[in-house]
Chain A
């Protein structure tokens, strides 16, 4: 009987352990973003932002181009008319953290290009020293860049592919929407 009693206590212990383990795990996975003050660069929080003064365009042979970046902001837009294969437009801008917390770049997400778009343009981003090029599956890389309270340079480049086949060149002007999202978290 003592054996049975011990067995029953063990059953309760195992059950309690299993439930507590699950509780901790499910709390973690259901709040893995929740619990650490994640932010994205598109939301202008805790002062991780682009520095307008550092923006430099590296213009190739494009017909016209512009970058829309107002004061200290966390988002920017750009337009580039790429007239012929081989044309490209690029610009650099510094990402500045002058908030009170260290920031870590956790992930970078880039537009998924359609099959047709991927044949026409090459869209890449160079962050610090690493380059990320978007494909038809997009980019969602997990990263771990600690920028602390410093500054990192971002290079954005879009190119009209010079290896595009004649058959793939559109008959009319085609607008391709591109985006990149940098996901910073508080360290």
Chain B
């Protein structure tokens, strides 16, 4: 009987939250940013109070919170260090809020309150109706919807690229955060998930300089952070259940080590933060050496290290071009490079200046650039012939 009552209350609360989010989605376009945040705060606060009044404030039965909390704090600190180290290689941004106390508080306070209230509501739902997987999944979907609605108003969707960047750079981290928090709350109580969300969601309000890693690196780091915390916490859980010995680590390693290695290599090569980078080839100007759909790996080099017959990687306006060097010209102490595509009859008329040199092609691979070319076609409305 109690379970049924709890079930009803949880579903009513979730339905109310869904309705409030739909209303938020419909009317938020006309509202200011401050109003949007406070609207969510009020909705969550009301639902928390309703849950507490009707079902009471049940204490969590979890007793492993401290172990998981240690992992969350340690990994958040580690990834902070990695992010700032990468910032030294790439660049840093001044956080636009950090030097304005009023703006800072206007952003920080509602964001922090939203995180705290949503985790409180999650804990109440999980504690009241722990066996209801459907209710837990529904709540996670609502949290993802809320995260998307809170961030979508700041987006400008001008083309397919911006939609892709939002879908991957914003929604992927929201989903990863939600899945991790659901797991942590279910198994370790409120503290680890709350700490994770506060650490990853609010640091840019507090720290005046943030690393400018770009959406790609930032998202990859966020996904890896969430996954690592999950793995270490699940090990804690397994060890607590005293069945760690049955935990066949070799099986997981055997299957996943190559996958992780390939993924890490791709991330390093695509991100371009190291000395080697991979790019897809979209034209056939270098046939028969390589052509459209192939990918080349190039090494970043100084112009002085480029020689005749090297395949030069250079920037021409907004284009990265890979053509073979037919002649190195020295004029007024400046190096210039005459280049030609292998498939072309004549050299390019325009000499490549030293400042446009990026590097030299060191390897190429057949066909693996096609996914990038296809996505590029989609981004450009299928206009590649």
Contacts and interface: CB of A to CB of B under 8 A. Distances in A.
B247 A25 contact: no
7 contacts: A11-B230, A25-B375, A31-B320, A33-B318, A35-B282, A35-B372, A36-B376
B82 interface: no
A5 B259 CA distance: 16
Contacts of B280: 27-28, 31, 35
B285 interface: yes
A19 B285 contact: no
Interface in A1-50: 1, 4-5, 8-9, 11-13, 15-16, 18-29, 31-40, 43-46
A140 B318 CA distance: 17
A27 B372 contact: yes
Nearest to A19: B263
Given A23-B270, A36-B282, A28 B379 contact: yes
Contact of A37 (B164, B231, B282): B282
B165 A29 contact: yes
Given A31-B372, A43-B317, 13 more contacts: A18-B168, A18-B223, A22-B220, A24-B371, A24-B372, A27-B279, A28-B373, A31-B320, A35-B369, A44-B350, A100-B345, A142-B380, A186-B285
- Residues of B contacting A: mostly: helix
Contacts of B369: 35
A28 B344 contact: no
B311 to A, nearest CB: 15
B316 to A, nearest CB: 8
A142 B381 contact: yes
Contacts, number: 151
A141 B169 CA distance: 28
Given A5-B252, A19-B223, A37 B285 contact: yes
A40 B321 CA distance: 15
Contact of A101 (B246, B267, B285, B349): B285
Interface of A: 1, 4-5, 8-9, 11-13, 15-16, 18-29, 31-40, 43-46, 100-101, 104, 106, 142, 144, 146, 186-187
Contacts of A13: 259
B304 to A, nearest CB: 24
Contacts of B373: 28, 35
B227 A11 contact: yes
B219 interface: yes
B243 A1 contact: yes
Interface of B: 161, 164-165, 168, 172, 215-216, 219-220, 223-224, 227, 230-231, 234, 238, 243, 246-248, 251-252, 255-256, 259-260, 262-263, 266-267, 270, 278-283, 285, 317-321, 343-345, 348-350, 369, 371-373, 375-376, 379-381, 383-385
B367 to A, nearest CB: 13
The 3 A-B residue pairs with the shortest CB-CB distance in the complex, in nearest-first order: A35-B282, A36-B282, A34-B320
A9 B243 contact: no
B383 A106 contact: yes
B385 A12 contact: no
A68 B32 CA distance: 53
Given A9-B252, A28-B376, A106-B383, A36 B164 contact: no
A100 B318 contact: no
A144 B285 CA distance: 20
B348 to A, nearest CB: 7
Contact of A19 (B267, B282, B319): B267
B281 A45 contact: no
A16 B379 contact: no
Contacts of B256: 9, 12
A45 B349 CA distance: 7
Contacts of A187: 385
A25 B219 CA distance: 13
A36 B384 contact: yes
Contacts of A101: 283, 285, 344
Contacts of A15: 223-224, 227, 263
Contact of B247 (A5, A20, A23, A29): A5
Contact of B161 (A20, A29, A106, A186): A29
Contact of B283 (A12, A19, A26, A36): A36
A5 B384 CA distance: 44
A35 B321 CA distance: 7
